[in-house]
Amino acid sequence: MRATVVVRPKDGILDPQGQAVESSLRHLGFAVDSARVGRVVELDLDTEDAGDARAQLERMCEQLLANPLIESYEIALQADA
């Protein structure tokens, strides 16, 4: 089973990378109100059970992939093609 985890700075946390991207996009003439920069982690998991996969991914996020104090995360699962 394949998974995509998106980790991003929580609302209210200063995101200087996002601010720099936002300001650069404005320089290019795009009407951008805000930009946040996060991180994408793609994983291949050795299970086809969505519930099991999600439980494992939650633990991975809490223990390593995200710092829960400053980052939120979203998990998306795709069955193997």
Partner 1 sequence: MSEPRPLIAVVVFPGSNDDRDAQQALERLGADAVRVWHDEPALPAGTAAVVLPGGFSYGDYLRCGAIARFSPVMRAVTEFAEDGGLVLGICNGFQILTEAGLLPGALRPNASLAFVCRDVALRVERADTPFTSRCHADQELTIAVKHGEGCWFADADLLAELEADGRLLLRYAEAENPNGAVGDVAGVLNAAGNVFGLMPHPEHAVDPLLGSTDGALILGSLVDAARLSIAVAV
Q: Hey, which residues between 4 and 23 contact partner 1 (CB under 8 A)? A: 9, 13-14, 16-17, 20
CA distance 1 to 76: 11
How many residues in the shown chain lie near partner 1 by CB under 8 A?
Answer: 11
Counting every residue written for the chain, the total comes to 81
Residue 41, SS3? strand
Quick one: 23 or 50, whose CB is closer to partner 1?
A: 23
Closest CA to 61 of 73, 49, 51: 73
For the bound state, the minimum distance from the C-beta of residue 48 to partner 1, rounded and expressed in Å, comes to 27
Tell me the β-bridge partners of 40: 6
Q: Which helix (H) or strand (E) holds 19?
A: helix 16-27
Binding of partner 1 by 57 (CB under 8 A)? no
Closest to partner 1 by CB, 3 or 65: 65
Binding site for partner 1 (CB under 8 A): 9, 13-14, 16-17, 20, 64-65, 67, 69-70
